[in-house]
């Protein structure tokens, strides 16, 4: 209750205004109970104290997210808070646990997507910004944890966005509880797709909304024990049937009619449809088409949705056939018939539509006409047929249309329910109620009456819930609330639905009387409720009545109450459509028992009341959650907020009623921290650390002399008006403090001005004296300078004369001496050049003769040896027919091959030496030629210089005494020049001859190389021949062994079986006989078979590498060892082998250790190194790439290759070389790639999990710090750095390739960037100045870590933090209001989008220095750009950052990151080196 002490001069208040509902102003005078207020609009008004409300001048520009935190919880405060948030596109606001949603009338795609769902998943209620997802998540969590069913009630007037809010709720429930099904559509998909179907048949355009739901819908979503959707059911209430036949301009009928008329041409032709404006039920309004809505596209979408929810194609055709029949039925007009008071179709057009309707209904056309034009009256023992006049026939036609459409809609709902299916075993559910809001029009009929009854019942339920929440809050804080009274609207409900005696009961009673009219019904109401305070009769009406609802008075017109309340079909219509040949139509009208026809009466009102009672019972059994939808304006355009309209909706939605209930108790609640922070100036000593917050709050309240307040456990609870009294005291203290500050400031400014003037005078005197002194000093300097200049000038003149004479003498002397020296130098060079040329020529001739002799000798020897080898080969072939000679031939051939190989190598070495010698000789000749050319060039240059010098000397001859020139010396020089020219000519000729000889030598070299290649091919043929002889020898030996064993009749019977098994393996190529007994001795019984030896080798390798065998030279030993073994055994070329499967099992078992980063890093190092080697080594078969180690034998079996021991000499000993791989090898490579990706992802996710737990504490730091729960916030960043150091140490110890380390750290930093940046966008407490400083400090630690880790491992990880670093850099700027938008996007935050910047600027607050956000101009510019971007079809759907979850590396990038030579020096494990079967690892 208002008191005089609440307001003083200068107080900011709210006063009522006829145009803006509430207007703020400043109190100029206080005259007792009257206030003179100067409003911001310029008006000056006088109001009573009781009609003025205090205004909170310290509320943030963007409002508060929860209106229970408002300093003043009253109508203008709530309205201003909603408006402030709406103008910043913050359309959601809490009032306790109630969500208020203001329709933005524009797309805001960033608020509804999977990223936003993941943000709200599991978040504590109130921790993030208000959102329907938060309400849904809270309901879902309560259902799962408490095993109690929940209900979400969405209400609001038409156009407020109820349907869209319901869709977002359903999407989130599908996101949380959806599950995949093996076949068909899942339950959640069918629930979501049922919306388009129900909207098509149950939504229409009204005056206030283009897509208004004309029915109530309650969706029950059932969940199993695991929280997954297991079933669902849809309940509908009170479809507006009258809209089928009657619409007013500018409304539309149900969408399905217009969709069908705009359907494909074949559909229109099938149903004989024309344009929508040609049908009576549609052309009653001028609105046929809607802007932004394509009826043809909606038709196709509706058909698709009907298929998803389980309606077959035949059922869909039948549904639209009924819709088309209703349209044709509406075009049937009636005129007077041949008999009195009878009717008949008016013309041929009416006959056509009547016949078409009958065809679509598949019933008798004549029977349809009679059912419309006649009525059968049943009496005792007989029935009388009564003709209907044209007006009554038209009413009968409309009744048929209404009942058919109503039955069709009910069938759709039942079909959707049966298709989705219900879970009988489900014990918990979440219900979503999408119900029409309170309605009050110029004409209010029976539909508005039922709608407002629903809202009265729901408001009572809402009031009880609000009061219950208030009780829970008081109980939680342990304060006394026993004296608070609760008043609800039960009297209004009794007026409407009490039985007997309520309005609905009187309506049913009137409907049962045959001759009753609406006037009779009105008279009964007037007599019955004339003394009821909630009922009244309008002055100028005979049949209207007014009900005083909680949201306001509504006057109802009773003209159609009786007709709309009757709930039975005309018997003739029932019989006609039940006999339809269309099974679908007949199913809509099942047969009715005769007894039911005559005795039972039901009404829409009673049925609706029963449905409503059932709904409330369901809601009472659940935990309710409320969403109140608000329509900000009636023009349905964005950025328009009509105060009066919104205020009326707040009243209708019960929000102000909830505030009234709160005001009965303690409407103002402040935490101790907030209370002390705001009112601590009333008693400054409470701000010292010696008092805790509770004691400080009590001292402040005692200082203010307040009574009636209460102190809870965490909050201070104030009665209504007490907050204003405290603010008045605070304003008074601030005023006194301001005066003191002003006095001190004025004194300080005056003294400062005096001191500045005195300093200026002193400085001026000093400047004047300094100027005079500088002028005197300047004159002295000029005089001294003049003397020095004169002295220097005279000295320079004399020096120039002496320098000219000295220069002429020196030039003449130097010319003469230089000529003599050059002559001597030329003679020396000539002599030396001749000696060098002679020695080189003699050397070249001797070397050429030697080379020709050596080549001829080698060629002759090769030809002779080849001839002898072929002769011996023929002899060996002849001798190979005898078994005893094979062994000797084999040994001899091996020696021959080795000798030939050695000779070939020798010949290659000689050839390379010859080529090297020839190359050196050519280089020497070229160098000699260059020297000769250089000598010629030098000689020519020297001649030119001498000529120039001679010419210059002749010019100076006039100044110098004549010098005699020796003519003999000149002649000698001329002769020497001629000789040099001759020598140069001869050298050029020799050079040309040398080039010709070089070309001839090159041709000879090519011929020799060709011959050597032929010899090498012959050697390969010899090898092939030797190999074939080996195979024959082995096969003969195996057969001899079998015969010996059979002849010896060994004891054991399994020996022949074993030999036969070996022969079969030999036949299919899986076991070649390369391994034989020494010296060809017989095979002993009990000797291990080859298969056992091969398997033993594989087992030895597997047992070795399965353990951690460490690293060598910075590379994993296991990977290199595996590759060497596979290469030696020629496994890559095998068509079939199980070794790859064994290796894959090793990596699979390694991936089971998901929690050990050390083990994962070890196997990542091995698998990636092996993958790099395979990428560089394997090539597809038939690719044409040759390799120096390619063997001539072809083995198709891994086991055969494994036992094969090559006798050829290895020339190239590189570890990695190209091998033609078969399918198993490339399959192994693909599997290895998958394992590398999996191991990489596990390590990254493990570190993310560790860092995420710390990041959550970092994000919560502003809230916990504010509550005083933590003291050392820096420990969080140190923990993150420790996790990064641990990971870096593990990666370095396990020699993981640096490219993986760089990518892992880059993705971890990107994860940190996304988490921190998203927290700024969705958590307002994080978007503050102090939190910006805190995060910036942590980012500096991360940057220091990147510098310490070096680019080899950290890479570009720091660049991943650009979003959060730029954002916090913007947060910690003090004077943001001076920054322009261009400066923000170009200099400060170039990485941030305009949506992200706008979100940060609107959420920014400063709890430390009270700095302001950006200016209004910048904010408006951002808002315009955001709205433009939201309207684009290809705009981003979210302003949140995503995190990359895949491995951002290709196989080529991994392979190119390391050189194959780095694996060359890896030492194999000692365990294998000691094994005789692995001696090849030593090479």
**Token couple for 1196:** 């198709």
DSSP label at residue 123: P
φ, ψ dihedrals at 1441, nearest 5°: -90, 140
Catalytic residue among 209, 1137, 1318, 1331: 209
Instruction: Round to whole Å and give the CA distance between 1303 and 1449.
Output: 8
Catalytic residue among 212, 510, 697, 1233: 212
Phi-psi map region of 270: left, alpha, beta (phi>0 left; psi -120 to 50 alpha):
alpha
**Token couple for 1133:** 């070329």
Is 1377 exposed, middle or buried (CB count within 10 Å of its CB: 0-12, 13-18, 19+)? middle
Active-site residue 439, yes or no?
yes
Is 1174 exposed, middle or buried (CB count within 10 Å of its CB: 0-12, 13-18, 19+)? buried
Catalytic residue among 63, 437, 721, 1073: 437
CA-closest candidate to residue 61, choices 1426, 921, 1324, 1072: 1324
CA-closest candidate to residue 1263, choices 124, 84, 100, 120: 124
Place of tokens 């026993």: 482
Catalytic residue among 95, 97, 155, 158: 158
Strand partners, 429: 222
Strand partners, 224: none
The answer to whether the CB of 221 falls within 8 A of the CB of 229 is: yes
DSSP label at residue 94: E
Is 1003 exposed, middle or buried (CB count within 10 Å of its CB: 0-12, 13-18, 19+)? exposed
CA-closest candidate to residue 135, choices 163, 96, 191: 96
**Token couple for 1205:** 């021991």
Catalytic residue among 97, 213, 455, 1034: 213
DSSP label at residue 386: E
Helical segments of 488-570, H only: 490-497, 503-512, 518-528, 561-565
Is 1459 exposed, middle or buried (CB count within 10 Å of its CB: 0-12, 13-18, 19+)? exposed
Active-site residue 96, yes or no?
no
3-state secondary structure 339-384: CCCCEEECCHHHHHHHHHHHHHHCCCHHHHHHHHHEEEEECCCCEE
Strand partners, 1178: 1219
CA-closest candidate to residue 696, choices 677, 712, 713, 717: 677
Catalytic residue among 159, 502, 665, 1221: 159
Active-site residue 209, yes or no?
yes
The answer to whether the CB of 251 falls within 8 A of the CB of 207 is: yes
Q: How far is CA 1118 from CA 44, 664, 1146, 1153, 1169, in A?
A: 90, 78, 11, 18, 10
- Nearest 5°: the CA angle 955, 959, 960 is 95
98-102: strand order across its sheet: 92-95, 98-102, 623-630, 150-155, 428-434, 216-223, 229-237
Phi-psi map region of 478: left, alpha, beta (phi>0 left; psi -120 to 50 alpha):
left
Active-site residue 213, yes or no?
yes
**Token couple for 752:** 């400062």
Q: Characterize 636-675 residue by residue with b for buried, 16 or more Cβ atoms within 10 angstroms of its Cβ, and e for exposed.
A: eebeebbbebbbbbbbbbbbbbbbbbbbbbbbbbbbbebb
Active-site residue 163, yes or no?
yes
The answer to whether the CB of 257 falls within 8 A of the CB of 279 is: yes
Instruction: Round to whole Å and give the CA distance between 59 and 680.
Output: 18
Angle between helices 313-330 and 390-420 (to 10 degrees): 160
φ, ψ dihedrals at 22, nearest 5°: -140, 140
Catalytic residues: 158-159, 163, 209, 212-213, 437, 439
């Amino acid at each position: 209750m208002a008191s005089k002490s609440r307001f003083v001069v200068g107080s900011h208040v709210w006063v009522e205004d006829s145009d803006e509902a509430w207007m703020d102003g400043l109190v100029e005078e206080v005259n007792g109970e009257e206030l003179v207020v100067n409003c911001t609009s310029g008006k000056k008004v006088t109001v009573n104290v009781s009609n003025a409300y205090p205004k909170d001048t310290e509320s943030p520009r963007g409002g508060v997210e929860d209106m229970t935190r408002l300093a003043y919880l009253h109508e203008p405060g709530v309205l201003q808070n909603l408006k402030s948030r709406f103008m910043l596109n913050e359309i959601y606001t809490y009032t306790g646990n109630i969500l208020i949603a203001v329709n933005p009338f524009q797309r805001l795609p960033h608020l509804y997507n999977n990223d936003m769902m993941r943000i709200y998943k599991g978040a504590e209620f109130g921790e993030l910004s208000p959102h329907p997802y938060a309400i849904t998540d809270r309901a879902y969590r309560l259902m799962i944890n408490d095993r109690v069913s929940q209900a979400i009630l969405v209400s609001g007037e038409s156009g407020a966005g109820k349907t869209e809010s319901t869709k977002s709720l359903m999407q989130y429930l599908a996101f949380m509880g959806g599950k995949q099904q093996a076949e068909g559509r899942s339950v959640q998909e069918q629930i979501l797709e049922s919306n388009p179907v129900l909207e098509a048949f149950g939504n229409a355009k009204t005056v206030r909304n283009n897509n208004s739901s004309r029915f109530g819908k309650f969706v029950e979503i059932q969940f199993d024990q695991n929280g997954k959707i297991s079933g669902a059911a849809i309940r509908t209430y009170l479809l507006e049937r009258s809209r089928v036949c009657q619409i007013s301009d500018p409304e539309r009928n149900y969408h399905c009619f217009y969709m069908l008329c705009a359907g494909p041409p074949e559909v229109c032709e099938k149903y004989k449809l024309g344009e929508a404006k040609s049908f009576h039920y549609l052309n009653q309004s001028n609105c046929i088409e809607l802007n932004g809505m394509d009826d043809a596209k909606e038709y196709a979408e509706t058909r698709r949705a009907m298929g998803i929810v389980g309606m077959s194609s035949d059922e869909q055709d039948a549904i639209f056939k009924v819709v088309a029949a209703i349209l044709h039925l509406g075009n049937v007009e009636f005129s007077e018939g041949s008999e009195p008071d009878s009717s008949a179709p008016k013309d041929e057009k009416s006959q056509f539509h009547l016949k078409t309707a009958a065809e679509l209904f598949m019933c008798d056309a004549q029977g349809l006409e009679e059912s419309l034009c006649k009525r059968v009256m049943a009496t005792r023992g007989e029935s009388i047929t009564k003709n209907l006049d044209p007006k009554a026939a038209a009413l009968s036609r409309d009744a048929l249309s209404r009942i058919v459409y109503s039955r069709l809609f009910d069938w759709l709902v039942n079909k959707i329910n049966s298709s989705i299916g219900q879970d009988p075993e489900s014990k918990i559910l979440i219900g979503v109620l999408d119900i029409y809001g309170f309605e009050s029009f110029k004409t209010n009929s029976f539909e508005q009456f039922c709608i407002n009854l629903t809202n009265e019942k729901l408001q009572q339920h809402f009031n009880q819930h609000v009061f219950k929440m208030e009780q829970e809050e008081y109980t939680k804080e342990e304060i006394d609330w026993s004296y608070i009274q609760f008043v609800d609207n039960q009297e209004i409900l009794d007026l409407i639905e009490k039985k007997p005696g309520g309005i609905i009961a009187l309506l049913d009673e009137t409907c049962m009387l045959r001759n009753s009219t609406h006037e009779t019904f009105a008279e009964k109401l007037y007599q019955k409720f004339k003394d009821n305070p909630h009922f009244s009769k309008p002055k100028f009406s005979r049949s209207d009545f007014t009900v005083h609802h909680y949201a306001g008075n509504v006057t109802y017109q009773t003209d159609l109450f009786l007709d709309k309340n009757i709930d039975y079909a005309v018997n003739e219509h029932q019989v006609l459509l039940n006999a339809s040949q269309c099974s679908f139509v007949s199913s809509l009208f099942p047969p009715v028992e005769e007894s039911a026809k005559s005795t039972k009466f039901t009404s829409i009102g009673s049925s609706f009341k029963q449905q409503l009672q059932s709904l409330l019972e369901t809601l009472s059994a659940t935990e309710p959650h409320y969403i109140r939808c608000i329509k900000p304006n009636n023009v349905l355009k964005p950025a328009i907020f009509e105060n009066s309209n919104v205020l009326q909706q707040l009243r209708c939605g019960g929000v102000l009623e909830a505030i009234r209930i709160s005001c009965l108790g303690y409407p103002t609640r402040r935490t101790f921290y907030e209370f002390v922070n705001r009112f601590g100036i009333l008693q400054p000593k409470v701000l010292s650390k010696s008092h805790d917050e509770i004691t400080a709050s009590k001292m402040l309240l005692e200082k203010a002399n307040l009574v009636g307040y209460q102190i809870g456990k965490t909050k201070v609870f104030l009665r209504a008006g007490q907050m204003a009294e405290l603010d008045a005291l605070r304003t008074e203290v601030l005023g006194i403090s301001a005066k003191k500050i002003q006095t001190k400031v004025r004194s300080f400014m005056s003294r400062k001005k005096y001191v500045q003037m005195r300093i200026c005078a002193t400085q001026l005197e000093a400047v004047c004296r300094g100027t005079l002194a500088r002028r005197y000093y300047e004159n002295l300097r000029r005089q001294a300078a003049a003397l020095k200049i004169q002295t220097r000038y005279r000295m320079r003149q004399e020096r120039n004369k002496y320098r000219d004479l000295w220069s002429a003498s020196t030039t003449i002397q130097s010319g003469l001496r230089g000529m003599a020296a050059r002559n001597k130098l030329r003679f020396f060079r000539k002599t030396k050049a001749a000696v060098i040329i002679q020695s080189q020529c003699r050397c070249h001739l001797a070397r050429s003769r030697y080379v020709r002799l050596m080549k001829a000798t080698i060629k002759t020897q090769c030809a002779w040896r080849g001839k002898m080898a072929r002769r011996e080969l023929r002899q060996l072939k002849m001798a190979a027919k005898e078994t005893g000679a094979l062994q000797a031939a084999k040994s001899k051939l091996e020696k021959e091959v080795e000798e030939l190989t050695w000779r070939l190598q020798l010949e290659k070495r000689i050839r390379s030496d010859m080529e090297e010698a020839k190359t050196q000789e050519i280089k020497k000749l070229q160098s000699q030629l260059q020297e000769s050319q250089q000598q010629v060039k030098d000689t020519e240059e020297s001649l030119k210089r001498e000529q120039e010098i001679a010419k210059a000397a002749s010019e100076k001859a006039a100044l110098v005494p004549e010098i005699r020139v020796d003519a003999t010396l000149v002649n000698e020089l001329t002769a020497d020049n001629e000789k040099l020219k001759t020598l140069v000519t001869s050298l050029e000729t020799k050079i040309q001859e040398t080039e010709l000889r070089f070309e001839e030598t090159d041709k000879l070299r090519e011929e020799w190389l060709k011959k050597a290649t032929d010899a090498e091919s012959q050697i390969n043929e010899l090898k092939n021949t030797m190999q074939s002889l080996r195979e024959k020898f082995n096969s003969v030996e195996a057969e001899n062994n079998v015969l010996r064993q059979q002849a010896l009749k060994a004891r054991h019977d399994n020996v022949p079986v074993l030999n036969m098994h070996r022969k079969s393996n030999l036949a299919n190529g899986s076991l070649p006989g390369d391994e034989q007994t020494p010296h060809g001795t017989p095979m002993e019984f009990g000797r291990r078979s080859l298969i056992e030896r091969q398997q033993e080798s594989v087992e030895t390798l597997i047992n070795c590498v399965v353990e951690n065998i460490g690293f060598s030279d910075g590379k994993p030993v296991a990977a290199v060892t595996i590759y060497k073994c596979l290469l030696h055994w020629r496994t890559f070329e095998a068509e079939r082998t199980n070794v790859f499967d064994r290796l894959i099992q090793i990596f699979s078992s390694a991936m089971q250790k998901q929690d050990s980063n050390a083990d994962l890093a070890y196997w990542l190092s091995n698998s990636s190194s092996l993958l790099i080697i395979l990428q560089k080594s394997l090539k597809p078969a038939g690719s044409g790439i040759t390799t120096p180690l390619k063997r001539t034998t072809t083995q198709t079996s891994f086991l055969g290759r494994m036992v094969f021991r090559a006798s050829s000499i290895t020339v190239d000993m590189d570890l990695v070389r190209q091998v033609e791989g078969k399918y198993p090898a490339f399959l192994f490579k693909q599997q290895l790639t998958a394992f590398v990706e999996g191991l990489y992802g596990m390590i990254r996710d493990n570190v993310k999990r560790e860092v995420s737990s710390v990041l959550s504490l970092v994000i919560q730091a502003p809230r916990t710090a504010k509550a005083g729960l933590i003291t050392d916030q820096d420990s969080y960043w140190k923990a993150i750095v420790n996790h990064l150091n641990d990971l870096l140490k593990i990666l370095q110890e396990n020699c993981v390739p640096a490219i993986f380390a760089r990518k892992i750290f880059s993705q971890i930093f990107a994860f940190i960037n996304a988490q921190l940046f998203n927290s700024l966008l969705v958590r307002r407490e994080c978007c503050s100045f102090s939190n910006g400083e805190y995060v910036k400090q942590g980012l500096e630690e991360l940057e220091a870590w990147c510098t310490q880790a070096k680019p080899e491992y950290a890479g570009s990880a720091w660049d991943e933090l650009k979003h959060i670093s730029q954002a916090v850099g913007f947060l910690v700027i003090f004077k943001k209001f001076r920054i322009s938008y261009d400066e923000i996007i170009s200099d400060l935050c170039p990485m941030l989008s305009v949506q992200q910047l706008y979100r940060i600027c609107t959420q920014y607050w400063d709890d430390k220095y009270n700095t302001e956000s950006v200016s209004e101009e910048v904010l408006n510019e951002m808002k315009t750009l955001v709205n433009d971007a939201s309207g684009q079809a290809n705009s981003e759907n979210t302003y949140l950052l995503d995190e990359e979850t895949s491995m951002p590396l290709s196989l080529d990038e991994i392979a190119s990151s390391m050189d194959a030579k780095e694996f060359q020096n890896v030492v194999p494990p000692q365990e294998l080196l000691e094994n005789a079967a692995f001696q090849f690892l030593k090479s």
